[in-house]
Chain A
Amino acid sequence: MDAVQVEVLLQTLIAGILLGGLYALIGIGMTLIMGVMKIINLAHGELMMVAMYLAYWLFVLFNIDPYLSVFIAAPLMFFFGMAIQKYLINPVLKVESILPENQVILTVGIGMVLANLATILFTSDYRSVPVEYASDAWYLSDFWRDSPVELSLSVPWSISFLFAVVITVALWFFLTRTDTGKSIRATAQDMDAAVLMGVNVERMRLITFGLGAALVGAAGCLFIPIYYLYPALGGRFTLIAFVITILGGLGSTVGAIIGGLILGIFESLTATYVGMGWAPVGRFAIFIAALIFLPGGVASILRRQRLGK
């Protein structure tokens, strides 16, 4: 391997890790919702889109930096998610129906309405937030003059990544150290047992959906400086969230983080060494592989190790 090839490989890995961190944040929201409620939320990407518009307008109208609007958009999305759960999803979950999957129609309907309202209110223009640092980067050669390889690290990508890490760690503390968090995890693991232990499952569901919405909302804010938005953008992120959820294991935060990173790195490597057109195939190939060979996701490996000790 000569220097040029090393440079390509390293740059690819950097890109993969940064992307993976952000993917993980999208996936965590989904994994919580799927783990606790066992429902497939097809409006996940649309929730992200709503948060992105929030961040966009906060910037345009009040000049609030997208990274600051994480702290505004995420709480708002939390309440928005709770409202959806309370007034739309809960009534459907309660009634007896032949297939529990009929909630799918509900989330598709919610997604349709959200995307269409965004088109009506904000037109279908592509927008991005014109932050100053959008294409700034740090270069290895600026720090090390004679470096044999030239690597770059994008400023907004790095900040977004750091934010994602901080949010994830905070969430992990919430889930493992607080009573509410523990109850949520208990509900995800075994709902009947949780009910017997006195957990208010209904309330946990509300909080979980709110939390899922808040997390994907935060991810939306972090994507704004490096990506763009338009009303129909939701679908692709919903799909990515699915892949991560399955890869990581339903309801597992740590699994989702590892799943996100695997996906990000895998996609980047495919793009460089196989061809970017095949990256989506790769994405779903590992998805199916995970389903078959690792039905519990990364979480099952983690659990096995813990038990082994």
Chain B
Amino acid sequence: MRKYQPYIMLLLLLLLPLFGLSTYMMHILILVIMWSVIGMAWNLLGGYCGQVSFGHAAFFGVGAYTAGILYFKTGISAWWGLPLSVVIVAAEALIIGFICLRLRGPFFALATLAMGEVLRVTAENLRGFTQGALGILIKERTWVEKTWYYYIIVLIAVGAFVLVKKIIESKLGYYFVAIREDQDAAESLGINTTLYKTIALTISAVLTGIAGAFYTNYMGYIDPEIVFALHDISIITIMVVMVGGVATYWGPVVGAVIMVLLAELIRSLPRIGTAHQTLFGILLILIIIFLPNGIVGDYPKIKRILGFRRRVGTTS
């Protein structure tokens, strides 16, 4: 059963649009899947390799702007931004990695945070190139229907999922975890930590950048405040992974469901007004106090609490 689980999930995902969901549901689903992609990307670097980045907006934004500027300056379809962003974001990741990866722990976190902010302010100030705060507006998006956007992001998500899984199950994955557990020990074992950390960062960045380029195509409007946002992108990314489950395959997906779907659900509760943020904040605090490894990570614990004792041992 467990072996087929990913395939069932995939089939379900592919068939979902046929159920005649409203475009609103589709929008939320697309956002959920997009956030899963970003979460998986972050998870590779943060969850497995232990390098907690506070600046994934730097990659998301550059991906988004690659597509946007391509469209705006040359008139080529912004979809070409997807492949192009791979190259550009990879280059960016190498530069940022060169600067930040020599730092450890909170220093690395803060350095990446600063990188994101630097890029945001730069995008705001380079008006000739990025249109500054005016943003870039795509006059006509490719499709009005959401089905194709949905399939494209599902494709990206499946690709990201398989890629992350393959990497983690390969030798590379063991190196990553070794670095996370004890960098000095890994080094003394002859693992070139800088190299592997750079690999993790680059793959993570590229996946995030693709999601960014997708965002431009899907939303049709970007500006620096949106795509380089510290709170709304970088921090939400961390929350997606941590709430869902660090260093688990499904954690980012579950986290995205919570951070997007549940947030929207709580927001839509009748008669709650602006208090929805308090409610959501408290929910986050509770999750992290009781499930410090996230929902998937502490799944056995949930089962225990809920009283499903019969299948102890077959942890997921």
Contacts and interface: CB of A to CB of B under 8 A. Distances in A.
A and B touch in the complex (CB under 8 A): yes
Contact of A246 (B107, B278, B292): B107
Contacts of B110: 40, 242, 245-246, 287, 291
Contacts, number: 141
Contacts of A288: 99, 111, 114-115, 118
Nearest to A245: B110
A120 B243 contact: no
A38 interface: yes
A188 to B, nearest CB: 13
A112 B278 contact: yes
Contact of B285 (A34, A40, A110, A120): A110
Contact of A98 (B274, B277, B297): B297
For A40, A98, A280, the residue with the greatest tally of chain B CB atoms inside 10 Å of its CB is A98
B121 to A, nearest CB: 5
Interface size class of B (residues with CB under 8 A): 35 or more
A195 interface: no
Interface string A94-131: 01111101111110111111011101100000000000
B126 to A, nearest CB: 11
A284 B125 CA distance: 14
A181 interface: no
B114 A97 contact: no
Contact of A278 (B50, B111, B121): B121
B52 interface: yes
B136 interface: no
Nearest to B117: A284
Contact of A277 (B50, B54, B106, B125): B125
A117 B275 CA distance: 7
A70 to B, nearest CB: 28
Highest count of chain A CB atoms <10 Å: which of B103, B180, B285: B285
Nearest to A115: B277
B302 interface: no
A72 interface: no
Contacts of A34: 106
Interface residues on A, range: 35 or more
Contacts of B299: none
Contacts of A239: 113, 117, 230
B231 interface: yes
A291 B289 CA distance: 32
Contacts of A99: 46-47, 50, 52, 242, 246
A6 interface: no
Contacts of A280: 117, 121
Interface string B93-132: 0000001101101110111011101100110110000000
A117 B280 CA distance: 12
Given A246-B107, A246-B110, A284-B121, A112 B274 contact: no
B288 A105 contact: yes
Contacts of B180: 98
Interface in A248-293: 250, 277-278, 280-281, 284-285, 287-288, 291-292
Contacts of B125: 277-278, 281
Interface in A67-113: 88, 91-92, 95-99, 101-106, 108-113
Interface in A32-68: 34, 38, 40, 42
A74 B180 CA distance: 39
B284 interface: yes
A148 interface: no
A291 B103 contact: yes
Given A88-B289, A98-B47, A104-B242, A117 B278 contact: yes
Interface in B214-250: 230-231, 235, 238-239, 242-243, 246-247
B293 interface: yes
A284 B114 contact: yes
B278 A120 contact: yes
Given A98-B47, A280-B117, A291-B111, 4 more contacts: A34-B106, A99-B246, A108-B284, A112-B278
Interface of A: 34, 38, 40, 42, 88, 91-92, 95-99, 101-106, 108-113, 115-117, 119-120, 235, 239, 242-243, 245-246, 250, 277-278, 280-281, 284-285, 287-288, 291-292, 295
8 contacts: A42-B235, A99-B50, A101-B46, A103-B288, A104-B52, A112-B281, A120-B273, A291-B110
Interface of B: 46-47, 50, 52, 54, 99-100, 102-103, 105-107, 109-111, 113-115, 117-118, 121-122, 124-125, 180, 230-231, 235, 238-239, 242-243, 246-247, 273-275, 277-278, 280-282, 284-285, 287-289, 292-294, 297
Q: Can you list the 3 inter-chain pairs with the closest CB atoms, starting with the nearest?
A: A112-B281, A109-B284, A116-B277
